[in-house]
Amino acid sequence: MIGSFGDIVFEVSSESVKTFQDLQFQYKANYAQHDVHGSVGLLEYTGRTPTTCSLKMRFDSALNVEPMDEIVALYVMMRDGVAAYLILDGDIQGDYGLWVIESFTEEWKVTNNTGKMIVAESSIQLKEYIEGGDGNGA
């Protein structure tokens, strides 16, 4: 197993191939600016924003993955606000471990002659989820 996000397992096996590409994390600090008359404003570090993460996935029925099932699973997680662990190489990612789907796209790459999705690609944007909302993971 390469990793997982909640119930979505990234793996390569003789039975199926479900991987991702273009994994990217973004970290951002927050600063307040205090204006000083006749001088340069002073910056004060006020904390950081939740880390964001983006990745692309390809779902291909020829690789024993049902694309529509995967798209629906992503949609349900986003719609229901499910917070899940992002695990890569056995390590939980992020300072607090939990992530939510902030948004995602689905792109129908290939359909069969009846319009059934055969290959799909999805880009998802995750945001670090801090339980309790106090910024301390409590």
Residue 120 counted as domain residue: yes
9 closest CA partner among 63, 65, 52: 65
The answer to whether the CB of 89 falls within 8 A of the CB of 3 is: yes
Q: What is the pLDDT of residue 16?
A: 80
Q: Is residue 138 part of a domain?
A: no
**Residue 18 vs residues 13, 14, 39, 62, 87: alpha-carbon distances, Å:** 9, 11, 56, 11, 14
Q: What is the CATH number of the domain that holds 40?
A: 2.40.30
Model pLDDT, residue 134 = 54
Q: Into how many domains does the chain fold?
A: 1
59: in domain? yes
pTM of the model: 0.84
Closest CA to 45 of 24, 27, 25, 31: 31
Residue 83 resides in a domain: yes
> pLDDT value at position 39?
95
Q: pLDDT tens per residue, the chain (138 residues)?
A: 799 999 888 888 877 888 899 999 999 999 999 999 999 999 999 999 999 999 999 999 999 999 999 999 999 999 999 999 999 999 999 999 999 999 999 999 999 999 999 999 999 999 999 987 555 544
pLDDT recorded at residue 115? 95
Q: Given this model, what pLDDT does residue 15 score? A: 79
Structural domain for 113, as ranges? 3-133
